[in-house]
Amino acid sequence: MQRDEAGEAVDDEKTEQTMIFLGMHTGHDAGVALFAEGELVAYCKEERLTRKKSDGRRLLLDSVEEVFRIAGVDRSLVDAVCLTRMNLPLRYYKKTARPMRDKFRRIRGATRSLAGEMHYLKERDESKLVREDRILEDLGLRPDAKVTFCNHHYAHILGAFRYTTWDKDALYISADGGGDGITYSAYYYDGTTLKLVYGGDDFLFERHEKTSASVGLAYQSVTKHLGFRPNRHEGKITGLAAYGKPVIGADLISTFILKEDGSFDSRFEDLAELEQFMFETKGGLSKEDLAASIQYTAETVVVNWIHKLRKLYPGTRRIGMSGGVFSNVRLNQKVAELSGIEEVFVFPPMGDEGLPVGNCIHMEIETSGLAGLKRSPLPSVYLGRPYSGKDLFDEAQKQEGFTLHATESAADAAAVLLAENHIGAIYAPFGMEMGPRALGARSIIASPTDRRLNDTLNERLERTEFMPFAPYVLDEDAKRVFKVGSNNWEACRYMTITTDVEPEHQDQIPAVVHVDGTARPQIIERTRNPLYYDIMRAFRDLSGIPCLVNTSFNAHEEPIINIPAEALAALRDGRIDFLVCDQGLIVADEKYLKSLSI
């Protein structure tokens, strides 16, 4: 609904085009998205503001105010707030399944899962359970704004659907640790309808999916068993798997029962029984072999699932993926290499941080219908609040201990330092990236020519990693260095998939090549990030090396850098040797500038 400066409704032909939707996910990895005129105009993950990893679990997120600042939109113009069915404070409920206990817990700020309450009360209409007026009041939105809720997995699916332009024959799948009663879902797009194949709200009310049937939960269990943090460090298991053998892979796969309709069952009643099987009955494995076993299991279970779904929909030629399981880049490569699959796409914020976007897309469909949804490739992931190189220089000048080198040839200067094996970080004149990957707005960059860089940089960042760093490469060089094509090009823009490295380049860039000869490249076009592109081109022209290392600009257990002060603190702490931005270079030790003839 379009409104004038006084907030009054304006009845004109542009009403549908000017709708503004606020999307929120308030669980772990909480975040907020803002849609205006059918486009994603701002995004913020809560941890980037609070500096607490995976922060969330509350309605009043700092990210709400941040997306309004980013987009320059007044909250009074919001037409709808779109939420997942997460925990809500008891004061937001009209009724709950256990009212007597609530009376004693209310004063302690207790919350209840909306999905859980819907399940217990067998109520499909959220408005009959929730005080929407209190949500709107607490968020500072108009009292006539709409409150909607979206199924967890449908929100995942919609992120991938909105940002692909496949006209038909497309399968969209999600898999994660669970949401709204299930851990998998699948939809098929025939050109006119997005048909539910598996999943949906029936699992909240009528069906039951065993936790032991979830390969995502099994992967989390292995992560925890090996001493890492589940729902956060699964990538370490993927890397560790390359050093082991899938000793019990076949045994684990046999516990997952895939039915003819594409649904899952398990030999075990619950996750605890599956864990006992993995760690006790089949226990005694090395860390490497257990990691390899669960990685092999995840790849095989998902690929078998896709085969089953393609039997149901044999026209499938393209696959869109979302949900935390598809943060597994090796698994994604297996999907892309399936016979008859022309293209895959992984929604860049594939985990729960992507749900706010899906929630808004759900509202777009509710408003305009599926046919009215704007679909296009994702134009940018740089959706945080933009900070310029001038902002970075101004902040550095306020502090002591930094030397600033202003130059119009920042890319050339950075390339010289990188060729000398110094480690830098780019602070591009954009907002921070949406999703878990650093993609050139807040990235650490380095030469990939020495495999020992992995140990050196991990030590400086206090990380424990088993997978080599990822490379980034110019679009004009990508095909001669990596096995990329139409099937995985778009996925490679967002570093969501591994690919084989061409044999003649493997020894040239050892710091980014995995044990199995693959890498996780980011393909970059100049129009998307000129400074990032120009640094790579200058380094290539100077050294003959076609890639640079790109890893996220953060130390261990820290969120990715956001504001200028955080970037400078990392420089001061010795995480990196220099900062590069569109204004020039910043160092904490002048020795790094000697080779620039300053």
Q: What is the pLDDT of residues 245-281, one digit of tens each?
A: 999 999 999 999 999 999 999 999 999 999 999 999 9
pTM score above 0.85: yes
The amino acid occupying position 250 is A
| Nearest-angstrom CA–CA distance, 351 and 248 | 28
How much is the pLDDT for 2?
39
Angle, CA of 485, 540 and 489, to the nearest 5°: 15
pLDDT exceeds cutoff 50 at 28: yes
State the average pLDDT over residues 284-291. 96
Q: For position 98, what pLDDT does the model report?
A: 74
Site of tokens 């919350």: 111
Answer whether residue 21 shows pLDDT above 50: yes
Q: Quick check: helix, strand or coil at residue 383? A: coil
pLDDT at residue 312 tops 90? yes
On the question of pLDDT at 346 being above 80, the answer is yes
Q: Please state, in angstroms and rounded to a whole number, the distance separating the CA atoms of residues 144 and 21.
A: 13
pLDDT at 581 over 90: yes
In whole angstroms, what is the distance from residue 40 CA to residue 42 CA? 6
The pLDDT of residue 399 = 96
Cα(350)–Cα(355) distance, integer angstroms: 8
**Least confident interval from 95-99, 182-186, 386-390:** 95-99
SS3 175: strand
Question: 78-92: per-residue pLDDT in tens?
Answer: 999 999 999 999 999
Q: 3 to each of 18, 75, 76, 115, 146, how far by Cα in Å?
A: 9, 12, 9, 34, 15
Beta strands 111-113; 87-89: pairing state: antiparallel
Q: Per-residue confidence at 97, pLDDT binned at 50, 70, 90?
A: confident
Amino acid at 464: T
Asked whether the beta carbons of 576 and 444 are under 8 A apart, the reply is yes
Q: Tell me: pLDDT of 17 over 70.
A: no
At residue 8, the pLDDT reads 41
Which pLDDT does position 15 carry in this prediction? 41
Distance between first and last Cα of the chain: 57
- What region, left, alpha or beta, does residue 72 occupy, with left being phi > 0 and alpha being psi -120 to 50 degrees? left
Which domains, from first to last, does the chain contain? 16-151 (3.30.420), 164-346 (3.30.420.40), 389-596 (3.90.870.20)
pLDDT category at 55 given cuts 50, 70, 90 is: very high
pLDDT at 10 over 50: no
As a three-state string, the secondary structure of 206-225 is CCCCCHHHCHHHHHHHHHHH
Mean pLDDT over residues 310-316, rounded? Answer: 96
pLDDT in tens, 190-234: 999 999 999 999 998 888 899 999 999 999 999 999 999 999 999
| Residue 110, amino acid | A
Beta-strand pair 87-89/424-427: unpaired
pLDDT tier for residue 505 given thresholds of 50, 70 and 90: very high
At 557 the pLDDT is 87
Cα dihedral angle (12, 17, 20, 22), rounded to 10 degrees? Answer: 150
Say if residue 105's pLDDT is above 80: no
Q: How much is the mean pLDDT over the chain?
A: 94
* Beta strands, E only, 482-574: 499-500, 518-519, 522-524, 547-552
3-state percent breakdown (helix, strand, coil) of the chain, nearest 5: 40, 20, 40
Tokens of 353: 């941080």
